[in-house]
Chains A and B, each alone.
Chain A
Amino acid sequence: MSDAYDVIVVGSGPGGYVCAIRCAQLGLKTALVERDKLGGICLNWGCIPTKALLRSSEIWHLMHRLDEYGFSADNFKFDIAKIVARSRAVSQQLSTGVGFLMKKHKITVIAGDARLAGKGKISVTKDGKATEYAAKNIILATGARARTLPGLEPDGKLIWTYREAMVPPSFPRSLLVVGSGAIGIEFASFYRTLGSDVTVVEVMDRVLPVEDEEISAMAAKAFTKQGMKLKTGTTVTELKKGADNVTCTLKAKDGKTEQVTVDRVILAMGIVGNVENIGLETAGVKVDRTHVVVNQWGETGVPGVWAIGDLVGAPWLAHKAMHEGVIVAERIAGVKGVHPLKTDNVPGCTYCWPQVASVGMTEAKAKATGRKIKVGKFPFIGNGKAIALGEAEAEGLIKTVFDADTGEMLGAHMIGTEVTELIQGYTIAKTGELTDQELAHTIFPHPTLSEMMHEAVLAADGGALHI
């Protein structure tokens, strides 16, 4: 057995590698175990490569509006292989970048499958050979994978998960997307923009069901306008594979069934934590369904064993995992003044077209707390920059929800161009506990889309200036 580490992190996704860097920064002797590529799902099969794909579809969309901006061109085409190749190159660049970061921080990277092996020990298996490592602290960050349901299993050819959807060997002319959360809707948006006939099935009564109802309804309207078929309150009861297509049986809430035949199916019905084969049972780490149970500090209850990220549950977001990684690293190093993560301050972004972003409570949820609230709204059509960009679509809105008595920002919800870049402003406000007054007194630069954030705050008191 080699020298003991202060910390061994299992899993090099955004939670794991950020945690390792923070540990190293705080002077802890750190190792990082990864069975696949550095960067985990986020860099290799999630956040980043999908953003590369969506950038291509966005450009495709703009090319169809060339005339509007004063250009003319014809006979333009896309090559799905090139689009995918660019996306893979982006992932590769970042994964390599994580490798450099590990080196820079003198973090030992161990390749292989890790497993808890008694108090303060893990065993890492690579090519059938197991090596044992000792660590005072073991941080589990093994992430999650796509959820499958009986009868709805991916085969990698006709029925895909995000993994295959990201690297299509050919462009599907028609698609059925099961699930309208961020993952499902981003793929639906990508393929629809490039011209696929896309049907989205959602079991809940609205798309993007975690978002504010009003935003969700506007998104549905925009998607429908783009030609996407949305089937809410609907489940998939059967997927019957043909030679190069799938016949799907859909069942609506009222019991009516219908059949749709598509080239490919994408399953995006949520995720399950990777809790298997890492020795949780023998170590005595508690698991609730598919997630490791932890307290506010990421402690599993087994001394020296911590867990973060998708493995410990929702919201399944890279930035939430990163923040938990930092919290655990600082707890281990004994940094003073560490605060538990506040779920209400975790922003969420969906990079569909139009984009959707939010932080905190929806209007309905804020109301349900029983407090007096005030809501401000400002549409893209009232914003000069949006109009100049040609992005003042009808389905563009920024909405704020405040506690009427204290001025606390309870939530903010956005739909429209580049809102994923805007939401951080409200997240800072929430984290810094600014109230409506400080936001109202903040000077936003003109002309920017961010002015709508100011207006949406003023609107909560009936004081929006440009509407």
Chain B
Amino acid sequence: MATQILMPALSPTMEEGKLAKWLVKEGDKVKSGQVLAEIETDKATMEFEAVDEGRIGKILVPAGAENVKVNAPIAVLLADGEDANAVVNISAAMKSIQEAVKNEAPKAAAPAAKAPDAKPAVAPVANDGKRIFVSPLARRIAAQKGIDLAALSGTGPRGRIVKSDIENAKPGQKPAAASAGAVTGMSLPDARLYYKKENYEEIPHDGMRKTIAKRLTAAKMLIPHYYLTIDCRLDSLMATRAKLNEAAGKNAAYKLSVNDFVVKASAMALMKCPDVNASWTEDAILRHAHADVGIAVALPFGLITPIVFKAEEKGLADISNEIKELAGRARDKKLKPSDYEGGGFSVSNLGMFGIREFTAVINPPQSAILAVGAGEQRAIVVDGKIEVATMMTCTMSCDHRVIDGATGAKFLQVFKQFIEEPASMLL
């Protein structure tokens, strides 16, 4: 019996994805576990493996198709001995589904047809659910410019929105960027209103950019952030680090960075202050059993925060190597959602750029993020005398719903002890 191969959900939050590449052709025999296709989500490209064995009867969604909904049929698998006629029946039944997919991804799904994008002409609906009357041209320009029709009032017959209403859309009207940001009710005007077209280049959002915009806008608007700053003396840490790195010798199995110590110290502090290692839900606070620490990794095309799970159980060398490995896969777009979803805490380090101190936006569902500045020599006063010390300033952003001021402060105090005397982490 021919079976459908469905678009997989590669993470708990995935709703749709891009079918980046097929690694099999129609007629190919496939074995269970064989990679069938590469699926791209907003964060990563993943391999999609066959569950059953058989022969690919028909590919329903072509490579390159975007916004393919999870569980949409993407191919037909034939059992042994079944001929391609089985495909005819199943594909007839699936035609409507396929059409739906086509409509979702007009450019990719209709490669030969030069027809104008055949987006279904769905009447736009206002926030109150009422139909918005808008000319076809105005609707299309609004979609292209990212102007929310619901924010406009039309000057055409019976209040119909016409082209000039879109062209006159002034600051104060909702851009689509806001809907990408998933925050309704408020918005900023489309930036294009302020600039001449010849003076800028337009770089369309990719999935990662949309996710950054959506998550961080939501985080900054919905989480009551507050900030705690502390200075840590690094002299002892630097000495320890030098000793350990020296001990590793040539062809070292590890090379520790200051950040590795920060991650380890954070993990240890989280275990001592479980109130910080927690997540907010509407009816409860989730207190995490392990210190799963996210590391913000800058990429040429964005930013992602893979997680060192159970960091409290791992030694510095393990943490160091794992961070390197995660960062490498992040740059290759090979992270799996399980590599970056969840976590209890994050570390963002801009010290390598000479940044002394900064504040970071909390990475939900976590409740705190530590913004780490550069380790630098400063003049400090110790027992009434000025001394030269290597100092590092850290600022923790806390979700006040979860972490009260004193709780956060206590965490930083513990963290500072670990950083200033790394050997104490052994206790």
A407 to B156, CA, bound (A): 19
A337-B157, A339-B155, A433-B162 given as contacts; is B137 within 8 A of A406 (CB)?
yes
Query: Does B55 have its Cβ within 8 Å of any Cβ on chain A?
Result: no
For A432, the chain B residues whose CB sits under 8 A away are 135-136
| CB <8 Å contact, A405 and B144 | yes
Interface residues in A, total, Cβ within 8 A: 17
Instruction: Give the interface size bracket for B toward A.
Output: 10 to 19
A339-B155, A433-B137, A434-B136 given as contacts; is B163 within 8 A of A408 (CB)?
yes
Query: Does A438 have its Cβ within 8 Å of any Cβ on chain B?
Result: yes
Most B Cβ at <10 Å: residue of A339, A433, A440, A463? A433
**Contact pattern, B 396-419, Cβ under 8 Å of A = 1, otherwise 0:** 000000000000000000000000
Query: Does A205 have its Cβ within 8 Å of any Cβ on chain B?
Result: no
Query: Does B125 have its Cβ within 8 Å of any Cβ on chain A?
Result: no
| CB <8 Å contact, B135 and A433 | yes
A268 to B366, CA, bound (A): 81
**Contact pattern, B 138-161, Cβ under 8 Å of A = 1, otherwise 0:** 101100100000000001110000
Task: Report the nearest A residue to B157, measured CB to CB.
Answer: A337
For A226, the chain B residues whose CB sits under 8 A away are none
For B138, the chain A residues whose CB sits under 8 A away are 433
A337-B157, A407-B116, A461-B115 given as contacts; is B137 within 8 A of A435 (CB)?
yes
Which of B115, B121, B144, B155 lies in contact with A406, CB distance below 8 A?
B144
Query: Does B243 have its Cβ within 8 Å of any Cβ on chain A?
Result: no
Contacting residues of chain A (158-212) with chain B, CB-CB under 8 angstroms: none
**Contact pattern, A 430-467, Cβ under 8 Å of B = 1, otherwise 0:** 00111111101000000000000000000001110000
A271 to B156, CA, bound (A): 34
A398 to B163, CA, bound (A): 25
A339-B155, A438-B136 given as contacts; is B114 within 8 A of A462 (CB)?
yes
Most A Cβ at <10 Å: residue of B140, B157, B162? B140
| CB <8 Å contact, A437 and B136 | yes
A433-B136, A463-B114 given as contacts; is B162 within 8 A of A337 (CB)?
no
Q: Smallest distance from the beta carbon of A442 to chain B beta carbons, Å?
A: 12
Q: Smallest distance from the beta carbon of B206 to chain A beta carbons, Å?
A: 21
Q: Smallest distance from the beta carbon of B232 to chain A beta carbons, Å?
A: 55
Q: Smallest distance from the beta carbon of B107 to chain A beta carbons, Å?
A: 14
Chain B contacts to A: CB under 8 angstroms: 114-116, 118, 121, 135-138, 140-141, 144, 155-157, 162-163
- With A407-B137, A408-B141 known, 20 other A-B pairs at CB within 8 A are A337-B156, A339-B156, A405-B144, A406-B141, A406-B144, A407-B140, A408-B137, A408-B163, A432-B136, A433-B135, A433-B136, A433-B137, A433-B138, A435-B137, A435-B140, A436-B116, A437-B121, A461-B114, A463-B114, A463-B115
7 residue pairs from A and B, CB less than 8 Å apart: A405-B144, A406-B144, A407-B140, A432-B136, A433-B135, A434-B135, A461-B115
Q: Which 6 pairs, one residue from A and one from B, show the smallest C-beta to C-beta distance?
A: A433-B135, A433-B137, A435-B136, A462-B114, A461-B114, A438-B136
